Chains A and B, each alone.
Chain A
């Protein structure tokens, strides 16, 4: 079963618009971590944020904000006043201990390709 779903394959908006990237996850663990990564055209994955399952406070960092809702198993990412430099593929990822080791790799969604048009 797919554990991280990013239903939006591609989003295209005009610069300065706000845009929200959706992420829905599935886990049997009560303790888990969620992450967002950015992959610009250069290809290197860049860490954006980590959130643990016990902390449902929303977080804001500059133009970026994250909304974590356990009730809907979602961890959505909003970019306010988007800029061309925000164009990239964004990945949501899950880290859980279900498989036993507590240290297995991240389970990634398929990614959302965000295009910001000038």
Chain B
């Protein structure tokens, strides 16, 4: 079946602009996760959704970051007033349900470059 898909695959934006990153999880997976991968910080967990609910938003780097999920499926990660330090690969993952036991399946990522 289809894996996790993300769009766009690459995004170049000017500092100060807003961007929206999209994730489409594996069908039937109720949990969805966002991570950021950068050279300096490695792989950082940002936020997860169980259904449409995000119980803990403390992993988001700043209040310029927000995420939502509707219909228990597609999720968007929005970065407002982008800064150069936001440049990274943003990865989305999904799992059958939330919980420690379930492996997460990752999408190909969106490479964000802020100029």
A residues neighboring B (CB under 8 Å): 31-33, 35, 37, 42-47, 50, 52, 91, 95-97, 99, 101-111
Contact = CB atoms under 8 A, between A and B. Distances in A.
Contacts of B47: 105
Interface in B78-115: 89, 91, 93, 98-101, 103-109
Where chain B touches its partner, the secondary structure class is strand
Where chain A touches its partner, the secondary structure class is loop
The 8 A-B residue pairs whose C-beta atoms are closest, nearest first, are: A105-B45, A103-B98, A45-B106, A108-B43, A95-B100, A47-B103, A33-B100, A110-B42
B109 A97 contact: no
Contacts, number: 65
A35 B106 CA distance: 13
Interface of B: 31, 33, 35, 42-43, 45-48, 50, 55-56, 59, 89, 91, 93, 98-101, 103-109
B100 A47 contact: no
B100 A107 contact: no
